[in-house]
């Protein structure tokens, strides 16, 4: 909080055209008709910088990590086009139920609305670590989890959450597509109350300077805590 009671985001990058912040879990990027939130990243960042900012992409409310805004409408359009044509590389980390393959590709079309047709959606992933807890869940005597790195090659709504659920390895903490029994285990045994998904890094060729920009978010405390409890070394995510 600043002296005026507003939230101050950690700035990961800023130049004459763009600014990137480390978005905490629990924040909507901007106002929507579906939610009654009173705090939004867009509004709070505008107050923090003392100038208007323009959204380029979005992260789900529960997802944390790298979020980029433009400082004017034309830069927003220029970078937004790179997102649309898949020329922005994105790396996420997540904790999922079960032990997926060491690496894989999830190529599964997704619907972005109730009446819309499915659109192509593709995610590459690799497994960084696995663990097994001696805690019974349902008919199983133990609970198995994995730390994964995921690279969405398309940008569909809830793509990673839907894709990992599709391969029967839902992301822990996901109250929409996840497994409630495992979510409850994390809340009660590991004191983890969030979706364990974060936008770890993002890279693109700057539309104005031509420089390759790589932005990286630190591991938030509420994400690092369950990783420590599961015995995973944070160096896995360097």
DSSP letter (8 states) at residue 235: G
Q: How far is CA 79 from CA 82, 113, 197, 203, in A?
A: 5, 25, 24, 11
Instruction: Say how far apart CA 170 and CA 185 lie, in whole Å.
Output: 14
Instruction: Say how far apart CA 199 and CA 216 lie, in whole Å.
Output: 8
Q: Which two structure tokens, joined as six digits, stand for 33?
A: 């008709």
Q: Which two structure tokens, joined as six digits, stand for 49?
A: 């910088």
Q: Which two structure tokens, joined as six digits, stand for 101?
A: 């393959």
Active site includes 165?
A: no
Catalytic residue among 4, 15, 60, 107: 60
Give me the phi and psi of 214, to 5 degrees please: -120, 120
Burial class (CB in 10 A: 0-12, 13-18, 19+), 63: buried
Give the catalytic positions in this structure. Answer: 60
């Amino acid at each position: 909080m600043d002296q005026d009671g507003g939230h101050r985001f950690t700035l990961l990058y800023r130049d004459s055209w763009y600014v990137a912040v480390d978005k905490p879990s629990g924040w909507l990027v901007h106002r929507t008709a579906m939610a009654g939130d009173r705090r939004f990243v867009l509004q709070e960042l505008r107050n923090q910088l003392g100038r208007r900012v323009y959204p380029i992409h979005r992260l789900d409310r529960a997802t944390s990590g790298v979020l980029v805004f433009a400082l004017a409408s034309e830069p927003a359009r220029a970078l937004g086009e790179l997102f649309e044509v898949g020329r922005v590389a994105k790396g996420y980390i997540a904790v999922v139920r079960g032990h997926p393959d060491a690496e894989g590709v999830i190529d599964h079309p997704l619907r972005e609305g109730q009446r819309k047709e499915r659109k192509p959606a593709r995610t590459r992933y690799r497994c960084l670590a696995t663990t097994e807890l001696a805690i019974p869940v349902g008919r199983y005597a133990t609970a198995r989890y994995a730390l994964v790195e995921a690279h969405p090659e398309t940008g569909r709504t809830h793509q990673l959450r839907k894709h990992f659920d599709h391969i029967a390895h839902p992301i822990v903490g996901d109250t929409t597509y996840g497994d409630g029994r495992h979510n409850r285990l994390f809340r009660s045994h590991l004191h983890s109350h969030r979706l364990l998904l974060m936008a770890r890094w993002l890279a693109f060729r700057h539309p104005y300077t031509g420089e390759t920009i790589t932005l990286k978010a630190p591991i938030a405390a509420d994400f690092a805590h369950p990783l420590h409890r599961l015995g995973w070394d944070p160096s896995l995510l360097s």
